[in-house]
Amino acid sequence: MPLMLARIKYCVNRIIKTRFIWNSFLTRLKDNSGRSNIDGDSKGNKKKILDPPTIESVAQLIKTGKAKRIIVMAGAGISTAAGIPDFRTPGTGLYDNLQKYNLPYPEAIFDMTYFKENPEPFFSLAKELFPGNFMPTLTHYFLTLLYRKNILLRCFTQNIDTLERLAGLPDEMIVEAHGSFAKSKCLKCKKFADAAWMKEVVNKGEVPICTSCRVGIVKPCITFFGEAMPSKFFLRLGDFQVCDLLIVIGTSLQVQPFASLVDSVGEKVPRLLINLEKVGDIELSDMGFDFEGRHQNYMRDAFYKGTCDEGVRKLAELCGFKDELLKVYEEGQESLIKEFGKIPTSVEIATKVEKKIKAELELTVDEIDQLAKIFEEKIKIKSEISEEVDQMLKEFDELKEKKSKDKELLKEKGNENKSNDKDDKDDKELLNVKEDITKSDKKEEEKGEKEELKDTNFVMI
């Protein structure tokens, strides 16, 4: 239910914003001034959130503790320094180098309909991306440093390479808007596949077929065109309502709905773009970035032109923790090489995570086995008690039968009157004993049932 509400709210907001853009566009055409009639003084000066709108002003907010809930929106550009190509850079981008796959159009390699009909091109590409050797960049460790300083609210990433995790950013801090190669799942039976097996099959250049249902294609858990966004994406949209600084880095902001997230923060929240060129500035609109301060109420957008690593190094230097960033980077690299014996692949990272999950599952199984032993012991004790009760009841019946025979003998001897009172008393005592035994047995059963129910509830929890 929370996920459904989040998706509905997101769709409604997008409809409202789309209409707002259109109305704004029509208004500007009528006005023919190229400027909006927004808040400011009589000379048209804007209210300034960043004064001046530069990376230095952004650094001052971080340095003085005014930015405590930072959201980072990361694109493929933060991983290019690791040797992973982005998608759209002319000449070197992924889409410019797919001719060998004979695709009807470049984006078809990530199109769900095309994939189901012809999965071979994707897995040929996956062989290059999925098992490749790559390490986190300085930018990835910058995210980790923000997290350690307790000022990172969330990292929303378009990347599927899992490098944010490898740099030490915990899962709860990451929203992988387009999924990742960390896991793979059967399209038919929905079962997850073993990471090592997936690596072996992909490296052979084969299309992985599920080993469980034996008919479904096993696809990495990355979001294709035509697929729904991960549920975590919608559940974390509320973060933007409490964000006090937005940093957008290494993305073209051309893919929706990720690109529209820049408009999800409040209108007074400062925004910094670190990129090789300006993106996301929509002409004749109050949406997107407004670096020139022409269309929005507040001057709050800053742009740093350069690579992602250059940008975060500059920002860290201005904030006074460049040396700390470099130390985190060096220690992280050394730790990874020491742990894996070499530069690890994304598959080896996924395998490590999978082993950890299996270890936790084995621990759970051990706990269940322990509870089963306790149940067996209780059943054994209950069985022994039942046997004792049965024996006592048997002895009671034998005693009663003997008493009855003795009574008949007394009648024959003419002493019936003398023994009647005593016999009645003895019979009552015997009946009381039997009743006590039965009640005791019943209480033991009820107690055992309650304990079993309690233990069962524990297992379910």
Give me the DSSP letters along 81-117.
GGT---SSSTTTSGGGG-GGGT-SSGGGGGBHHHHHH
| pLDDT at 132 > cutoff 90 | no
- 128 vs 149, more confident: 149
* Known binding positions for NAD(+): 76-80, 86-88, 158-161, 251-252, 275-277, 308
Q: Would you name the residues annotated as active-site residues?
A: 178
How far is Cα of residue 25 from the mean position of the Cα atoms in its chain?
A: 39
CA atoms of 87 and 149, how far apart (whole Å): 32
pLDDT tens sequence across 345-381: 544 554 554 555 455 555 555 666 676 676 667 666 6
Q: Which helix (H) or strand (E) holds 157?
A: strand 152-157
| pLDDT at 393 > cutoff 90 | no
- pLDDT band of residue 293 (cuts 50, 70, 90) is confident
pLDDT tens sequence across 61-112: 999 999 999 999 999 999 988 888 666 555 555 655 566 777 888 788 889 9
Residue partners of 150: CB distance under 8 A and separation at least 6: 68
**Tokens of residue 308, six digits:** 């992602």
Residue 342, pLDDT score:
58
Nearest Cα neighbor of 87 from 224, 254, 228, 306 is: 254
Nearest Cα neighbor of 168 from 126, 209, 140 is: 140
* Known binding positions: 76-80, 86-88, 158-161, 186, 189, 210, 213, 251-252, 275-277, 308
pLDDT tens sequence across 411-420: 666 654 555 5
Ramachandran angles phi, psi of 25, nearest 5°: -60, -45
Residue 315, pLDDT score:
98
**Cβ pair 210, 217 in contact under 8 A:** yes
* Residue-wise burial string across 333-371, b where 16 or more C-beta atoms lie within 10 A, e elsewhere: eeebeeeeeeebbbbbbbbebbeeeeeeeeeeeeeeeee
Residue 423, pLDDT score:
55
- pLDDT band of residue 282 (cuts 50, 70, 90) is confident
Give me the DSSP letters along 279-325.
-SB-TTSSSB--TT-SSSSEE-EEEEES-HHHHHHHHHHHHT-HHHH
Residue 404, pLDDT score:
75
* Known binding positions for Zn(2+): 186, 189, 210, 213
CA atoms of 258 and 105, how far apart (whole Å): 22
In the predicted model, what is the mean pLDDT of residues 128-142?
79
CA atoms of 358 and 352, how far apart (whole Å): 10
CA atoms of 155 and 359, how far apart (whole Å): 28
Write the CA distances from 92 to 88, 105, 133, 317, integer angstroms. 8, 17, 19, 30
**Cβ pair 268, 49 in contact under 8 A:** yes
